[in-house]
A = this chain, B = another copy of it.
């Protein structure tokens, strides 16, 4: 079956991250693909649509990719032929309007410099332009992904090594890209000069190196000496060797995606020297300072807001407790619920714990409010369970602008905070009070007022997006 449908109940009101990447080089070789598999498994939260692994044994490359979860795409039979010393892997979320199967990564290509496979997390804002240039030069393109554009540009680039060709090509690429590249006898990784998306490297105790979108994957594989790849840095791993080449960052301090801390990354990852979990607790603490309210209990929207709710509780002195239970098996379903069930969609996912809510003034902690589709039903669920007041607190600022660097935030029309004032929004959602964390508060919790992209909150993009916004306006994406 190649057809996948996402039933509505599976769509949270969350921004959608694009991808996770992994790169492995091991002098032993016999477990390279397996390490890539378990690494992707630890990055599954970054994309559930498709997965793939490409491997090189020093002579030829082999690849397996398909739509589905990592554990569905790979089994012993599909993993067995992937023998080699070097591997890259990818797990991805869907892209609008494009066939999943066709755009699954890695993207494997024969070039004059030998076989090349590419996988990346991010999005180029000038992809359409680069694509058009390639077409005009007589190239043909088989897919609609940025990855193919990047691969073809590298294939045509001059330079003695993939590192050289990357360095020459990178100035043309505007946008976010944490990229892993499989050559015949090495894995090369690079993070865009803005450093939008995370990318780290670690050493395997038994020999070799691993590169991954998040440190949680490196820890899962037992890596030591874990360090971040810097904005603009090119890192090559080849068995027990590692080579790091710095290229100038695009902006001082970088433009790291602040939403990685708010929602995307696994809480057990570290980024920019900071534990994601610790940042989330501080986001809750800041929120308690900025947006306190007299109440009886603080409850999280599970699972992502648990650390922030603990932080809010700790700071405010108001008791933390569970108030909502999530069905752990929520996932894709092909069954479209009938009308009466559709109205209870949130109930498929969450149940209220009446005994912790009844007669209480409840503070609900959530990490973001994007399209505003689930907040209302959740508030209703909590009130129906007996809460006398519901105060919704969001651990990020209102999302008022689209992301052009690979996160599906929705269009201006879809972003509810771009259309309604906070008061209107509060009435729309039906809560007794609604407050968002300030941009400054969020950055304070992260630990730095600089080096982070806050464009979805502020509209201040680190790259000039005028051309893109113009074409988006034409296409009706923004108004």
A325 touches B266 (CB 8 A): yes
Q: Which residues of A contact B (CB under 8 A)?
A: 1-3, 30-31, 34-35, 37-38, 41-42, 44-45, 48, 64, 69-71, 74-79, 107-112, 116, 135-142, 144, 151-152, 155-157, 206, 216, 219-222, 266-268, 275, 277-278, 303, 306-307, 310, 314, 319-322, 325, 327-329, 331-338, 340-341, 344, 347-348, 351-356
The complex is assembled from copies of this chain, and their number is 4
Q: Provide the bound-state CA to CA distance between A74 and B340, in Å.
A: 20
Instruction: Quote the shortest CB–CB distance from A177 to chain B (angstroms).
Output: 18
Instruction: Name which of A45, A111, A334 has the most chain B CB atoms within 10 A of its CB.
Output: A334
Contact between chains at B341 and A268 (CB < 8 Å): no
Question: Which chain B residue lies CB-closest to A134?
Answer: B112
Closest 10 CB pairs of A and B: A138-B156, A140-B155, A109-B140, A75-B334, A268-B325, A268-B351, A44-B329, A112-B135, A110-B141, A275-B355
Main secondary structure of the interface of A (DSSP, over half): mixed
Given contacts A220-B347, A307-B322, 19 further A-B contacts (CB under 8 A): A2-B78, A30-B338, A31-B338, A31-B341, A34-B335, A41-B329, A69-B329, A111-B139, A112-B135, A138-B155, A139-B152, A139-B156, A206-B340, A219-B347, A221-B341, A267-B325, A267-B353, A303-B328, A310-B322
Task: Name the B residues within 8 Å of A142 (CB-CB).
Answer: 107-110, 142
A348 lies within 8 A of B38 (CB):
yes
In the complex, the answer to whether A76 meets B327 with C-beta atoms within 8 Å is: no
Residues of chain B contacted by A157 (CB below 8 angstroms):
138
CA distance A336 to B71 in the complex (A): 12
How distant is the Cα of A348 from the Cα of B141 in the complex, in angstroms?
37
A76 to chain B, nearest CB (A): 6
- Decide: B109 and A141 in contact? CB cutoff 8 A: yes
CB distance from A395 to the nearest CB of B (A): 15
Question: Contact: B41 with A327, CB < 8 Å?
Answer: yes
Asked if A336 contacts B219 (CB within 8 A), the reply is no
Which of the residues B41, B266, B327 comes within 8 Å of A348, measured between beta carbons?
Answer: B41
Q: Whole-angstrom distance between the alpha carbons of A352 and B268 in the complex? A: 7
Q: What is the minimal beta-carbon distance from A71 to any residue of chain B, in angstroms?
A: 5
